[in-house]
């Protein structure tokens, strides 16, 4: 191929699609045994310093943002593993004071927050950070959380999602300076127009919400085909709400286990499997599958006749569907399934050298299955350090990932340009 | 000036020069020996809990509290946010709880339970104080075992639900934030619920040890505090 042909085929830099990376600072790391890994100081994820260190590293590596998952309830399996604890708006405020550019994405429940209160808190944090905030709008499942707010049981699935759409609508009107039901925020507009709306539920109701309001979607997909199909559903759905197909940035969760050789990575993965406390792994899988495992032979295949359809499953439909897909494809025994899931969050796991991880990321990105990833390192902070020090430079050398931030807001990292000269209708999207 | 006092400040805007004013006021209050700096919140403008997080990072050592209305915050959320800040700041956080109605989440839950009656404001506030104080001790730091060898992360026997069923609030607990090695966060209320235009003294509630009344100085500009303290000294 001649030089000219190559030149013509290479998109000019400003029009090139860029990869997006967030780090999901999921306490000790994504696996059930992450907190037991020798790299990790056992209870450090209950301290602010842990998150500051992760955020500084992510900013040094030019990540789009740091992402904090959350729920207003104590973990049932706290005996066996660390959980999310510190309230995200407080952690992100602290991170905002110690970073300059990094996006700050917090999970706040639409089910159990006052809409105007959370809208004001999110915009306050956004203003203090110079326009770097995203709100991961979740609905909160489970009777445990419900009982912390005076409810006897969890609100039904569809009702939770209807409320989420309403809460986002109220928040965005308040952020625009409007008065909603006699309340207004008394705050100026965000430097990035509005805080970014992130959404993470993969159920039918979740996809509808994502299609309607999400600017970033944190998804879960085990295979590239699933990811492509999911992205198609969200983008098609968005068109139905009058949006453009490119209005949504789709970031599947990706768990990484990195070693300097394939063998070293495989050994690290093996160690993490061994470190998952077994009572925890069994209880969790039992919860995901919806039936007790005590009396079953762990070396027999998963009894598929006992599995219910995703729509009938309680809890997270996203991960139940992912587990079902895995059972269908690989027909594992219960023990194999336990090891495969690793007591992790049910997201896809890639194990290997930095080159292999970079290849995987590039393949998914170029195929259109992902605009980037919400990274869930195996152990924090060491798994993020390995990614930042060894995978990011490869992605940069391949022209996939930024070497420097081009703007100061989360929206600018996502490839939007915010035209501040236009005033009230400040948001001009250009990607 | 030996009687204990607190200083109350409020953000006017989110502009850098206003934040610099808040930092200056906080430093001044710390030097003058204020027990804490309380950041007011009227439900509009910059959220006071975010402002406190910012000030805690800018001004070391000073104790900080934010005003929170019962009308905007479900007790579980507020207890959690305060205790999180307390852990993050090495035991420097607190809250001034202002009774201004029942929050939207609690109101929705109550709508489903007709048997719960309606309490007056003082009873509601005392119910709120009770549940927050219980949540703050529901997950003792000692429960964070982190025994990597044995595979035991937390001693779940030390973590206990609160099972609060008060006149207004029903909260199961426990909180998912552990206590700190320090004392619990400071919990303040106003002696009369006269609102932000008046400046009554505030009450620091110390469970098990009674309560203490503290003089409150509301300051707006650097230098205000010095004049107020001088006047107070002359008057006493």
Per-residue HEC secondary structure of A286-311 comes to HHHHCCCCCCCCCCCECCHHHCCCHH
pLDDT digits (tens, 9 = 90+) for B171-217: 999 999 999 988 899 999 998 655 544 566 788 887 667 788 899 99
Res A7: pLDDT: 47
Does B46 or A420 have the greater pLDDT score?
A: B46
Contacts with A, B 46-65, CB within 8 Å: 46-47, 49-51, 53-54, 56-58
Q: Report d(CA A397, CA A287) in Å as an integer.
A: 43
Going by their DSSP bridges, the two strands A427-428 and B152-154 should be labelled as: unpaired
Res B116: pLDDT: 62
Q: Do B170 and A150 touch (CB under 8 A)?
A: yes
Q: Report d(CA A131, CA A136) in Å as an integer.
A: 15
Dihedral angle, C-alpha B71, B75, B79, B81, nearest 10 °: -60
pLDDT digits (tens, 9 = 90+) for A54-65: 999 999 999 999
Exposed e or buried b per residue across A229-243, where buried means at least 16 C-beta atoms within 10 angstroms of its C-beta: ebbebbbebbeeeeb
Q: How many CB atoms lie within 10 A of CB B104?
A: 18
Question: Does residue A91 sit at the B interface (CB-CB below 8 Å)?
Answer: yes
Res A340: pLDDT: 75
Q: Report d(CA B7, CA B35) in Å as an integer.
A: 8
pLDDT digits (tens, 9 = 90+) for A224-240: 999 999 999 999 999 99
Q: Report d(CA B146, CA B175) in Å as an integer.
A: 19
Question: Does residue B147 sit at the A interface (CB-CB below 8 Å)?
Answer: yes
Tokens of B164: 């609060």
Over residues A178-198, the mean pLDDT reads: 97
Residue A347 — very low, low, confident or very high, per pLDDT cuts 50/70/90?
A: confident
Q: Report d(CA A110, CA A88) in Å as an integer.
A: 14
Question: ipTM above 0.90?
Answer: yes
Res B183: pLDDT: 87
Q: Which residues of A touch B105 (CB under 8 A)?
A: 112-114, 149-150
pTM (2 d.p.)? 0.92
Q: Do A87 and B81 touch (CB under 8 A)?
A: yes
Q: In the predicted model, is pLDDT for residue A11 greater than 60?
A: no
Res A424: pLDDT: 39
CA A150 vs CA A218, B40, B79, B166: distances in Å: 30, 28, 15, 10
Res B198: pLDDT: 54
CA A259 vs CA A350, A373, A401: distances in Å: 11, 19, 21
Helix or strand run (H / E) with residue B232: helix B224-235
């Amino acid at each position: 191929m001649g030089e000219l042909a190559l030149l013509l085929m290479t998109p000019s830099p400003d029009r090139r699609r860029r990869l997006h990376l967030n780090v999901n600072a999921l306490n000790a790391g994504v696996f059930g045994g992450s907190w037991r890994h020798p790299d990790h100081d056992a209870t450090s994820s209950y301290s602010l310093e842990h998150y500051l260190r992760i955020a500084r590293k992510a900013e040094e590596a030019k990540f789009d943002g740091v992402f904090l998952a959350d729920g207003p309830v104590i973990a049932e399996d706290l005996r066996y593993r660390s959980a999310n604890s510190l309230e995200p708006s407080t952690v992100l405020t602290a991170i905002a004071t110690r970073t300059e550019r990094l996006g700050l994405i917090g999970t706040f429940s639409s089910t159990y927050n006052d809409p105007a209160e959370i809208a004001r808190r999110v915009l306050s944090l956004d203003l203090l950070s110079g326009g770097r905030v995203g709100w991961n709008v979740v609905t909160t499942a489970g009777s445990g959380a419900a009982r912390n707010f005076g409810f006897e049981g969890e609100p039904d699935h569809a009702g939770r999602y209807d409320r989420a759409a309403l809460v986002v609508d109220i928040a965005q009107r308040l952020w625009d300076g409007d008065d909603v039901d006699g309340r207004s925020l008394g705050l100026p507009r965000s430097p990035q127009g509005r805080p970014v709306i992130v959404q993470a539920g993969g159920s039918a109701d979740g996809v509808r919400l994502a299609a309607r309001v999400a600017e970033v979607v944190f998804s879960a997909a085990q295979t590239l085909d699933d990811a492509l199909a999911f992205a198609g559903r969200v983008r098609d759905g968005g068109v139905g709400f009058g949006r453009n197909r490119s209005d949504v940035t789709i970031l599947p969760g990706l768990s990484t286990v990195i070693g300097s050789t394939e063998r070293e990575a495989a050994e690290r993965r093996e160690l993490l499997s061994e470190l998952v406390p077994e009572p925890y792994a069994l209880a969790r899988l039992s919860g995901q599958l919806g039936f007790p495992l005590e009396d079953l032979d762990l070396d027999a295949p998963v009894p598929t006749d006992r599995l219910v359809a995703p729509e009938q499953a309680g809890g997270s439909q996203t991960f139940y569907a992912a587990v079902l897909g895995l059972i269908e494809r690989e027909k594992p025994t219960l023990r194999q399934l336990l090891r495969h899931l690793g007591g992790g969050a049910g997201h896809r796991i890639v194990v290997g050298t930095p080159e292999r991880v970079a290849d995987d990321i590039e393949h998914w990105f170029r195929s259109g299955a992902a605009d980037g990833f919400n990274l869930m390192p195996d152990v924090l902070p060491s798994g993020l350090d390995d990614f930042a020090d060894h995978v990011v430079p490869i992605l940069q050398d391949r022209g996939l990932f930024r070497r420097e931030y081009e703007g100061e807001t989360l929206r600018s990292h996502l490839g939007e340009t915010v035209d501040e000269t236009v005033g009230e209708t400040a948001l001009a999207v250009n990607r | 000036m030996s009687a204990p006092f607190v200083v109350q400040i409020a953000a006017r805007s989110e502009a850098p020069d206003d934040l610099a004013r808040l930092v200056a006021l906080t430093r001044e209050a710390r030097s003058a020996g204020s027990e804490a700096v309380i950041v007011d919140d009227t439900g509009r403008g910059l959220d006071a809990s975010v402002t406190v997080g910012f000030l805690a990072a800018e001004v070391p050592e000073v104790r900080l509290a934010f005003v929170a209305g019962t009308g905007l915050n479900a007790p579980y959320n507020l207890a959690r946010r305060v205790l999180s800040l307390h852990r993050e700041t090495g035991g420097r956080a607190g809250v001034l709880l202002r009774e201004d109605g029942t929050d939207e989440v609690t109101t929705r839950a109550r709508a489903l339970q007709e048997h719960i009656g309606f309490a007056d404001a003082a009873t509601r506030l005392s119910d709120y104080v009770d549940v927050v104080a219980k949540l703050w001790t529901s997950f003792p730091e000692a429960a964070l075992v982190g025994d990597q060898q044995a595979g035991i992360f937390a001693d779940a026997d030390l973590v206990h639900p609160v099972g609060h069923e008060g006149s207004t609030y029903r909260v199961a607990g426990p909180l998912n934030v552990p206590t700190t090695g320090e004392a619990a966060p400071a919990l303040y209320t106003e002696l009369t619920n006269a609102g932000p235009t008046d400046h009554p003294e505030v009450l620091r509630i110390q469970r098990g040890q009674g309560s203490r009344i503290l003089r409150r100085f509301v300051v707006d500009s650097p230098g205000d505090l010095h004049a107020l303290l001088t006047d107070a000294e002359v008057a006493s």
